[in-house]
């Protein structure tokens, strides 16, 4: 039955499929509707709202149905959707197309478990169920039309009856429509995570016995509650903590949250890069701002970051956290996230969780015997019949894994395809070990079953390659001239001892912690002295050996992370000479950003006597970050060297020994930021197989070519920052990646590209001020057909080669700052894969081409600072456009009317379009409208229902603003949370005294009701009357309502009148509030500041209003404060922020209260539920009052807040307190 409300969800539960089809879901939702009824209205609004929540929705864009049956494309879209929403409207049953869609949807419900949600839009559910009314008329026509196919008509009738009996929503119960849209989106968002395939789905992926754990973790997460919550997943190694967290993350991160991040291997990553580096990566992912990576502040809780985070509902998984320092560094101030945020932490150390998740810890137990057997069978036999029919033998082998999934997986893979005798031998060996080492010995059994050569590969990965090399890189360094390494890698993967990186960061090799610990224990067993071990990785051991010269011929691998050093080390001159079998030397500093030119480290190497000239002839990998000597050892044999890495070294000349004729296998050379380097040898003769050269930051390097002239295999060349290179001669052959981003010193760059050699080109990046082909002033006319990214910034080109339209795989085209560019190809719409087009600062570009056919993938279009005068009406063919940037287009006067038809446009930036006078109706899905400094703009149209932010500051001609509550009746509905009219001095009296104040109270009460934030700024010198507590000056003592801190309390609103009386270049004003709750024994201060920054430009008085949610206020419990608060006071003061450096918290200057900005008045309002209810009741009456004001009223003067005054209930306030 359809209902207008539901306590949990309005979606029908899926039918448990008897035999669920293997369908790969492509869409979250399929939208079925009758086009002529709802396409340009309700369906479009719903689609926009779903898109704003990142819910992938299929909506058929065809205006006319073709034929009697739905297309295969539609059938496929229905099958590939998780949820179907059916909008039953007045004329739905007249369409056989819609009715066939309905049949297909219900079939997917039965066979695939698809969730179905009917919406009865302007039609009674009984009309659909009984097919009377308009549906009866429709079926009379259908029966006449399909006289020879009556069984089809009957199927449609059954389908309508079945669908109308499902739990859905009736539009009659929701006024206005926005409430219905919000309810649908809310229910969809809640149901998507519940779209959980059956237990069989987990089993098909080898996730056996996990479903109950998933349910318990989700219960602890309590999605839907408004608190910010950390939950812990605790258990021993290999027990499945990461797997459990990964599955929960995948199921919940879809549409529930605004920012999501899964950080694997926190312990290992923090050891390699420090927690603070890892934290920057987390913030960058959550806020989608790469600029955060440049921040130097060691504190997460900087004002800039907190401003961003407290508006973001986030979902974070921190995997394998080892101690409290890591957790604190990554999520310090986690309670500042937006309400509803969730953090999952997996750890072996339960003490890590005690401070933050004491009541929300889930302990992962081992698998039951039956689940253990099933998981073991999955890996040992797959879908094949077990060759072992001895049930007792199976159970005995499995029992030694003790329910540990990792051990079961490794053991099962090891015994796969082995005979019964092998199984009995394994069981015999396991029985020899003590019970306390069960799991460790299960893993060791798999290792001991490997050939010796493969065992050595495993130990190399254990001690060196895990998490820092890809499989290809590791194979290249371990290669001994035969196929053993590749085969060995395959065997290790097949035995689940390593993973090849496809599912891990940067495709790196990965190994479970337990396996790494086992491997390192094997290396240490039997060798008390570190110098007698084959592989060294412990910093103390390596430093001891280098100082005392105790290394032996046994040493093959040294890996030293200098950040783990605890003292300065005086390296013995002959420390490496005795290690004649040394294959790999890696001395590195992963916690130092060499690329950022920061080389400081606490402890250093001292090589005053240099190094013995004789190093191992077997060296394949030589890496020494910050290498302290001026040259390499004179007798360094290089014939086996594959990689030479000396980042940030003191090397002055890279000179090989005279005995070295060639370095035949050298593939990679990295001397980046070796600032003393002046010369490199002729590499084309010495190292003809070089593939990668990085000389970035070598500021004293004078000449590179012709050294590179004949390196035919070179694919990577980085000369960023080589400022003394004065001439670049011809480079021949292929280059698939030229990173020349800061190549400011280059005077001539002549490029002769062989097109056949470039057939595999994937990326071409160029920031050089002058690029030309020999004998031409134009860029090359042909591009490789596989090109995906083409950046031609700042080139002196007047036209783009026509051949560009043949780049069907091109995703990004950047032509920014091509100041001579006059035109684009008219058939640019042929770039079907294009997602981003950047034309920023193409100042001579006056016309944007017609979009002659739909471009399905273009989401980001930047045309800012161009000479474009108008956009074509055909811009509606950009059917996926989300971001349109038109800042500083000085010639543009209007936008095409077709822009309002866009269902996807969310961000519209029009700042400083000085001739723009009028905006056409805005697209329904628009979230952010920015029109600052549009000097000719006189009015703003009605805002879309879901618009969150309006920035119209310094629109000096702006006179009228539409009431943004036109379609809204109650404050429970969506309204803009940020509205800025700073410097709009020509706003008429009706707008200033009625529309803005009325909408302001609407914003404030809606934010209070939804526990969110809101800000407004507009010209004025009066605090609205509904701020009952207000005064002149910067300080105010507040008398609290009697029930101010009970469950009815929703938050508070703060207001000031400010006067920016002096211009301060490169600065903005921030308003700071200090609210102090004084108790008998102590004080409870709370500090807030405006997120909206006011320009420090001399301007008339302005009103600034801010809502502070109850959650952000974070007051102690009512019992703690209600009985003991003796006084509450408010103090307001301005500060200044240098907006040239918004990431630097120290740029803020306090104590300049009157020099540039004066706070003239301040006010506060404690808001409760009764205020919301009273305002809802008065809304209709207020609308009637506003109708009295016509254009003649605009001529009347007035300085109050208008005639529609809302005053909070007097019973909540002391009547005699009013400054």
What CATH code is carried by the domain that includes residue 171? Answer: 3.40.50.10140
Q: Per-residue pLDDT averaged across 566-595, rounded? A: 83
Q: What is the pLDDT of residue 1212?
A: 37
Domain check: are 187 and 262 in the same one?
Answer: no
Most confident of 36-40, 177-181, 676-680: 676-680
Q: Per-residue pLDDT averaged across 629-636, rounded? A: 84
Q: Phi first, then psi: what are they for 751, rounded to 5°?
A: -120, 130
For residues 1084 and 1077, give the distance between their C-alpha atoms in angstroms, rounded to a whole number: 5
Residue 928 lies in a domain: no
Domain check: are 316 and 227 in the same one?
Answer: yes
Q: Is the pLDDT of residue 1141 over 60?
A: no
Active site residue 1178: no
Among 307, 80, 113, 311, CA closest to 195:
113
CATH of the domain at 378: 1.10.8
The larger pLDDT score, comparing residue 536 to residue 1113, is at 536
Q: What is the pLDDT of residue 858?
A: 93
For residues 612 and 851, give the distance between their C-alpha atoms in angstroms, rounded to a whole number: 69
Sign of CA dihedral 252, 258, 262, 266: negative
Residue 261 lies in a domain: yes
Q: Is the pLDDT of residue 801 over 90?
A: no
Q: What is the pLDDT of residue 31?
A: 93
Do the beta carbons of residue 578 and residue 553 sit within 8 Å?
yes
- Express each pLDDT in 199-220 by its tens digit: 555 655 678 888 888 889 988 9
Residue 444 lies in a domain: no
For residues 275 and 279, give the distance between their C-alpha atoms in angstroms, rounded to a whole number: 6
Q: Is the pLDDT of residue 882 over 80?
A: yes
Q: What angle do CA 950, 951, 955 make, to 5 degrees?
A: 125
The pTM of the full predicted model, rounded to 2 decimals, is: 0.54
Q: What angle do CA 1057, 981, 1178 make, to 5 degrees?
A: 75
- Can you name the residues that pair with 1108 across neighbouring β-strands? 1052
For residues 1059 and 1159, give the distance between their C-alpha atoms in angstroms, rounded to a whole number: 6
Chain-centre distance of CA 1053, in angstroms? 32
- Express each pLDDT in 74-96 by its tens digit: 888 888 888 999 999 999 999 99
Q: What is the pLDDT of residue 142?
A: 92
Domain check: are 128 and 239 in the same one?
Answer: no
Domain check: are 35 and 104 in the same one?
Answer: yes
Q: What is the pLDDT of residue 755?
A: 32
Q: Is the pLDDT of residue 933 over 60?
A: yes
- Express each pLDDT in 1-11 by its tens digit: 444 333 334 44
Q: What is the pLDDT of residue 195?
A: 55
Q: What are the structure tokens assigned to 406, written together?
A: 């990792």
Consecutive H or E run containing 692:
strand 692-694
Q: What is the pLDDT of residue 132?
A: 92
- Express each pLDDT in 1173-1183 by its tens digit: 887 776 655 55
Domain check: are 121 and 267 in the same one?
Answer: no
Q: What's the pLDDT band for 746 if we cut at 50, 70, 90?
A: very low
Q: Identify each DSSP E strand in 1035-1156 by its residue range.
A: 1035-1038, 1049-1060, 1068-1079, 1083-1089, 1094-1095, 1102-1109, 1125-1137
Residue 504 lies in a domain: no
Q: Per-residue pLDDT averaged across 1109-1113, rounded? A: 72
Q: What is the pLDDT of residue 938?
A: 93
- Using left for φ > 0, alpha for ψ between -120 and 50, and beta otherwise, residue 983 falls in left
Q: What's the pLDDT band for 557 if we cut at 50, 70, 90?
A: very high
Q: What is the largest CA-CA distance in the chain?
A: 103
Q: What angle do CA 1144, 1150, 1153 make, to 5 degrees?
A: 140
Residue 358 lies in a domain: yes
Domain check: are 205 and 110 in the same one?
Answer: no
Q: Per-residue pLDDT averaged across 480-490, rounded? A: 80
Last residue of a domain, one of 432, 451, 473: 432
Residue 376 lies in a domain: yes
Residue of 79, 90, 101, 556 marked active site: 101
Q: What is the pLDDT of residue 310?
A: 72
- Can you name the residues that pair with 259 across neighbouring β-strands? 314
Q: What is the pLDDT of residue 232?
A: 92
Q: What is the pLDDT of residue 288?
A: 64
Alpha helix positions (H), 253-323: 266-273, 275-287, 303-309
Q: Is the pLDDT of residue 1105 over 90?
A: yes
Domain check: are 1045 and 1064 in the same one?
Answer: yes
Q: What's the pLDDT band for 512 if we cut at 50, 70, 90?
A: confident
Residue 1041 lies in a domain: yes
Q: What's the pLDDT band for 646 if we cut at 50, 70, 90?
A: very high
Q: Is the pLDDT of residue 426 over 60?
A: yes
Q: Is the pLDDT of residue 1191 over 50?
A: no
Q: What is the pLDDT of residue 760?
A: 32
Q: What is the pLDDT of residue 10?
A: 47
Number of domains in the chain: 5
Do the beta carbons of residue 53 and residue 255 sit within 8 Å?
yes
Question: How many other C-beta atoms can be found within 10 angstroms of the C-beta atom of residue 518?
Answer: 22
Q: What is the pLDDT of residue 332?
A: 66
Q: What is the pLDDT of residue 872?
A: 93
What mean pLDDT value characterizes the chain?
Answer: 77
Consecutive H or E run containing 986:
none
**C-beta pairs of 559-562 under 8 Å, 24+ apart in sequence:** 559/463, 559/464, 559/535, 559/584, 559/586, 559/588, 560/536, 560/586, 560/587, 560/588, 561/271, 561/272, 561/588, 561/589, 561/590, 561/591, 562/587, 562/588, 562/589, 562/592, 562/601, 562/603, 562/625, 562/626
What are the DSSP calls for 588-650, one per residue? E-TTS-GGGT----SS-EE-TT---S---TT--EEEETT--SSS--TT---TT--EEE-TT--
The larger pLDDT score, comparing residue 507 to residue 859, is at 859
Q: What is the pLDDT of residue 65?
A: 45
For residues 1143 and 877, give the distance between their C-alpha atoms in angstroms, rounded to a whole number: 39
Q: What is the pLDDT of residue 158?
A: 93
Q: What is the pLDDT of residue 178?
A: 79
Q: Is the pLDDT of residue 152 over 50?
A: yes
Report CA-CA distances (Å) from 988 to 955, 992, 1199: 13, 6, 12
**Is cis: bond before 568, omega within 30 of 0?**
no
Do the beta carbons of residue 933 and residue 909 sit within 8 Å?
no
Domain check: are 140 and 281 in the same one?
Answer: no
Last residue of a domain, one of 691, 708, 742: 742
Q: What's the pLDDT band for 367 if we cut at 50, 70, 90?
A: confident
Domain check: are 190 and 252 in the same one?
Answer: no
Residue 972 lies in a domain: no
Name every residue whose Cβ is closer than 8 Å to that of residue 166 and which is 6 or more positions away in sequence.
12, 116, 117, 118
For residues 608 and 638, give the distance between their C-alpha atoms in angstroms, rounded to a whole number: 24
Domain check: are 356 and 416 in the same one?
Answer: no
Q: What is the pLDDT of residue 1065?
A: 62
Domain check: are 45 and 62 in the same one?
Answer: yes
For residues 184 and 117, give the distance between their C-alpha atoms in angstroms, rounded to a whole number: 9
The boundaries of the domain holding residue 737 are 644-724+731-742
Do the beta carbons of residue 1044 and residue 1166 sit within 8 Å?
yes
Q: What's the pLDDT band for 967 if we cut at 50, 70, 90?
A: very low
Domain check: are 152 and 244 in the same one?
Answer: no
Q: Per-residue pLDDT averaged across 1162-1169, rounded? A: 88
Last residue of a domain, one of 141, 171, 195: 195
Q: Is the pLDDT of residue 293 over 70?
A: no
For residues 904 and 882, give the distance between their C-alpha atoms in angstroms, rounded to a whole number: 5
Query: How are beta strands 692-694 and 668-670 bridged, if at all?
Result: parallel
Most confident of 371-385, 603-617, 1016-1030, 1092-1106: 1016-1030
């Amino acid at each position: 039955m359809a209902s207008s409300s539901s306590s949990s969800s309005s979606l029908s539960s899926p039918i448990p499929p008897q035999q669920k089809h293997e369908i790969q879901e492509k869409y979250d939702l399929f939208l079925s509707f009758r086009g002529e009824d709802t396409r340009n209205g309700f369906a479009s609004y719903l689609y926009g709202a779903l898109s704003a929540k990142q819910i992938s929705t299929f909506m058929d864009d065809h205006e006319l149905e073709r034929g009697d049956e739905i297309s295969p494309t539609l059938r496929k879209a229905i099958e590939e959707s998780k949820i179907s929403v059916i909008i039953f409207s007045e004329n739905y049953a007249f369409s056989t197309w819609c009715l066939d869609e309905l049949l297909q949807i219900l079939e997917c419900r039965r066979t695939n478990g698809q969730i179905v949600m009917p919406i009865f839009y302007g039609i009674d559910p009984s009309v659909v169920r009984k097919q009377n009314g308009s549906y009866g008329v429709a079926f009379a026509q259908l029966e006449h039309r399909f006289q020879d196919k009556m069984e089809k008509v009957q199927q449609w009738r059954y389908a309508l009856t079945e669908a109308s009996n499902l739990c859905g929503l009736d539009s009659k119960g929701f006024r206005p429509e926005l409430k219905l849209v919000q309810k649908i989106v809310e229910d969809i968002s809640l149901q998507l995570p519940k779209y959980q395939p059956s237990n069989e789905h987990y089993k098909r992926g080898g996730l056996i016995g996990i479903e109950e754990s998933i349910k318990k973790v989700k219960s602890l997460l309590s999605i839907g509650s408004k608190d910010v919550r950390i939950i812990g997943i605790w258990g021993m190694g290999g027990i499945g903590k990461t797997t459990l967290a990964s599955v929960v993350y995948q199921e919940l991160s879809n549409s529930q949250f605004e920012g999501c991040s899964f950080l694997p291997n926190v312990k290992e990553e923090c050891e390699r890069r420090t927690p603070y580096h890892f934290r920057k990566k987390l913030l960058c992912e959550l806020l989608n701002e790469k600029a955060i990576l440049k921040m130097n502040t060691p504190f997460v809780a900087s004002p800039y970051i907190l401003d961003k985070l407290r508006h973001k509902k986030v979902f974070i998984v921190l995997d394998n956290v080892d101690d409290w320092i890591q957790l604190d560094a990554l999520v310090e101030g986690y309670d500042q996230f937006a309400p509803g945020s969730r953090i999952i932490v997996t750890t072996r150390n339960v003490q890590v969780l005690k401070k933050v998740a004491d009541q929300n810890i889930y302990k992962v137990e081992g698998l039951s015997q039956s689940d253990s057997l099933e998981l073991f069978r999955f890996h040992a036999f797959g879908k094949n019949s077990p060759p072992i029919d001895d049930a007792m033998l199976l159970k005995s082998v499995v029992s030694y894994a003790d329910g540990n999934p990792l051990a079961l997986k490794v053991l099962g893979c090891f015994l796969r395809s082995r005979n019964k005798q092998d199984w009995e031998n394994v069981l015999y060996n396991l029985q020899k070990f003590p019970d306390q080492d069960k799991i460790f010995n299960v893993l060791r059994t798999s290792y001991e079953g490997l050939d010796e050569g493969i065992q050595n590969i495993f130990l190399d990965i254990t001690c060196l390659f895990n998490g820092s090399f890809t499989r290809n890189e590791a194979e290249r360094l371990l290669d001994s001239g035969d196929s053993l390494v590749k085969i060995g890698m395959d065997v290790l993967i097949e035995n689940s001892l390593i993973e090849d990186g496809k599912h891990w960061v940067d495709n790196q090799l990965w190994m479970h912690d337990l396996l790494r610990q086992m491997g390192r224990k094997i290396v240490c067993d039997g060798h008390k002295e570190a110098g007698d071990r084959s592989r060294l990785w412990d910093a103390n051991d390596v430093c001891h050996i280098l100082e005392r010269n105790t290394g032996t011929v046994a040493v093959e691998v040294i890996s030293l992370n200098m950040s783990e050093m605890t003292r300065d080390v005086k390296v013995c001159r002959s420390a490496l000479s005795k290690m004649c079998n040394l294959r790999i030397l890696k001395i590195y500093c992963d916690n130092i950003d060499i690329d950022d030119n920061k080389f400081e480290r606490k402890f250093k190497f001292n090589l005053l006597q240099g190094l013995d000239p004789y190093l191992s002839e077997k060296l394949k990998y030589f890496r020494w970050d910050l290498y302290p000597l001026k040259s390499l050892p004179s007798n360094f044999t290089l014939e086996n060297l594959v990689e030479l890495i000396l980042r940030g070294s003191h090397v002055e000349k890279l000179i090989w020994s005279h005995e070295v004729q060639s370095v035949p296998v050298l593939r990679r050379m990295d001397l980046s930021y070796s600032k003393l380097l002046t010369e490199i040898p002729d590499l084309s003769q010495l190292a003809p197989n070089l593939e990668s050269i990085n000389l970035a930051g070598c500021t004293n390097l004078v000449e590179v070519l012709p050294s590179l002239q004949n390196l035919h295999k070179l694919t990577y060349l980085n000369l960023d920052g080589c400022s003394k290179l004065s001439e670049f001669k011809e480079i021949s052959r292929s280059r698939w990646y030229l990173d020349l981003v800061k190549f400011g010193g280059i005077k001539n760059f002549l490029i002769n590209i062989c097109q056949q050699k470039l057939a595999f080109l994937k990326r071409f990046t160029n920031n050089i001020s002058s690029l030309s082909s020999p004998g031409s002033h134009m860029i090359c006319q042909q591009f490789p057909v596989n090109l995906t990214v083409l950046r031609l910034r700042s080139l002196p080109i007047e036209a783009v080669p026509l051949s560009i339209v043949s780049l069907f795989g091109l995703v990004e085209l950047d032509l920014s700052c091509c100041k001579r560019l006059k035109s684009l190809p008219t058939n640019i719409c042929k770039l079907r894969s294009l997602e981003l087009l950047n034309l920023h600062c193409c100042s001579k570009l006056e016309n944007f081409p017609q979009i002659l056919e739909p471009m399905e993938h273009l989401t980001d279009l930047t045309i800012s600072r161009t000479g474009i005068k108008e956009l074509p009406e055909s811009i509606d063919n950009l059917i996926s456009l989300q971001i349109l940037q038109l800042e500083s287009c000085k010639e543009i006067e209007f936008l095409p009317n077709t822009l309002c038809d866009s269902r996807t446009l969310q961000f519209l930036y029009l700042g400083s379009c000085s001739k723009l006078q009028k905006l056409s109706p805005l697209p329904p899905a628009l979230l952010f409208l920015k029109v600052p400094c549009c000097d000719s703009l006189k009015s703003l149209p009605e805002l879309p229902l879901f618009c969150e932010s309006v920035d119209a500051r310094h629109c000096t001609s702006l006179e009228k603003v539409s009431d943004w509550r036109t379609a809204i009746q109650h404050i429970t509905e969506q309204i803009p949370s940020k509205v800025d009219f700073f410097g709009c001095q020509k706003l008429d009296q009706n707008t200033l005294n009625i529309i803005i104040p009325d909408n302001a109270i609407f914003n404030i009460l809606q934010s209070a009701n939804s526990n969110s934030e809101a800000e407004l700024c507009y010209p004025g010198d009066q605090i609205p009357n509904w701020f009952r507590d207000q005064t002149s000056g910067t300080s105010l003592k507040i008398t609290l309502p009697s029930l101010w801190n009970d469950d009815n309390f929703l938050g508070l609103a703060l207001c000031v009148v400010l006067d920016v009386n002096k211009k301060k270049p490169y600065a903005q004003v921030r308003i700071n509030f200090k609210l102090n709750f004084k108790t008998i024994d102590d004080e409870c201060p709370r500090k807030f500041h405006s997120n909206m920054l006011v320009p420090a430009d001399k301007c008339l008085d302005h009103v600034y209003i801010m809502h502070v949610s109850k959650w952000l206020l974070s007051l102690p419990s009512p019992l703690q404060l209600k009985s003991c608060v003796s006084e509450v006071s408010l103090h307001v003061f301005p500060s200044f922020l240098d907006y040239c450096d918004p990431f630097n918290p120290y740029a803020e200057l306090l104590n300049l209260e009157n020099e540039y900005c004066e706070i003239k008045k301040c006010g506060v309002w404690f808001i409760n539920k009764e205020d919301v209810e009273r305002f809802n009741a008065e809304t209709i009456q207020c609308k009637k009052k506003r109708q009295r004001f016509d254009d003649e009223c605009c001529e009347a003067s007035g300085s109050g807040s208008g005639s529609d005054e809302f005053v909070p209930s007097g019973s909540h306030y002391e009547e005699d307190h009013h400054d």
